[in-house]
Amino acid sequence: VDAAAEAAARDRNGQLTKPPGALGRLEDLAIWYAGWRGNARPALERPQVIVFAGNHGVTARGVSAFPAEVTVQMVANFRAGGAAINQLSKAFGAEMSVHELDLDRPTADFSVGPAMSEAEVVAALATGWAAVNPEADLLVVGEMGIGNTTAAAAIACALFGGQPGEWTGRGTGVDDHGLSIKTQVVAEGLAANPDRDPLEVLRCLGGREIAAMAGAIACAHARRIPVILDGFICSAAAATLALSAEGAIDHCVAGHASAEAAHRALLSKLGKQPLLELGLRLGEGSGAALAIGVLKGAIACHSGMATFAEAGVSDS
Among 43, 191, 306, 309, binds a second copy (CB under 8 A): 306
CB 55 within 8 A of CB 145: yes
Task: Select the span of 31-39, 130-138, 185-193, 306-314 touching a second copy (CB under 8 A).
Answer: 306-314
**Catalytic entry in 6, 120, 260, 284:** 284
* Complete DSSP assignment for 159-181: HH-S-HHHH---TTT--HHHHHH
Give CA–CA dist 307/205, Å, rounded. Answer: 51
Q: Residue 143: phi, psi to the nearest 5? A: -145, 160
In angstroms, give the least distance from the CB of 35 to a second copy: 19
**Among residues 45 and 118, whose Cβ is nearest to a second copy?**
45
Q: Mask: binding to a second copy, 138-177, rule CB under 8 A, as x and -?
A: ----------------------------------xx----
* DSSP summary character for residue 107: P
Q: Is 90 an interacting residue with respect to a second copy (CB under 8 A)? A: yes
Q: Is 212 an interacting residue with respect to a second copy (CB under 8 A)? A: no
**Among residues 208 and 302, whose Cβ is nearest to a second copy?**
302
CB 64 within 8 A of CB 174: yes
What are residue 281's DSSP bridge partners?
Answer: none
Active site residue 284: yes
What are residue 51's DSSP bridge partners?
Answer: 98, 142
Q: Which amino acid is at 124?
A: A
Q: Which amino acid is at 51?
A: V
Strands 47-53 and 95-100, sheet pairing: parallel
Among 48, 55, 59, 77, binds a second copy (CB under 8 A): 77
Q: Which of residues 114-133 bind a second copy (CB under 8 A)?
A: none
**Among residues 24 and 194, whose Cβ is nearest to a second copy?**
24
Give CA–CA dist 296/137, Å, rounded. Answer: 11
Angle at the Cα of 48 from the Cα atoms of 137 and 140, rounded to 5 degrees: 95
Could you list the beta-strand ranges (E) of the chain: 47-53, 95-100, 138-144, 227-229, 252-254
**Among residues 132 and 267, whose Cβ is nearest to a second copy?**
267
Q: Which of residues 26-55 bind a second copy (CB under 8 A)?
A: 26
Give CA–CA dist 205/156, Å, rounded. Answer: 10
Q: Which of residues 216-235 bind a second copy (CB under 8 A)?
A: none
Among 87, 117, 163, 180, binds a second copy (CB under 8 A): 87
* DSSP summary character for residue 224: T
Q: Is 316 an interacting residue with respect to a second copy (CB under 8 A)? A: yes
In angstroms, give the least distance from the CB of 114 to a second copy: 29
Chain positions contacting a second copy, by CB under 8 A: 16-26, 65-67, 69-70, 73-74, 76-77, 80-84, 86-88, 90-92, 172-173, 259, 275-282, 286, 289-290, 293-294, 296-297, 300-301, 304-306, 310-314, 316
Would you please indicate which residues are annotated as catalytic (active-site) residues?
A: 284
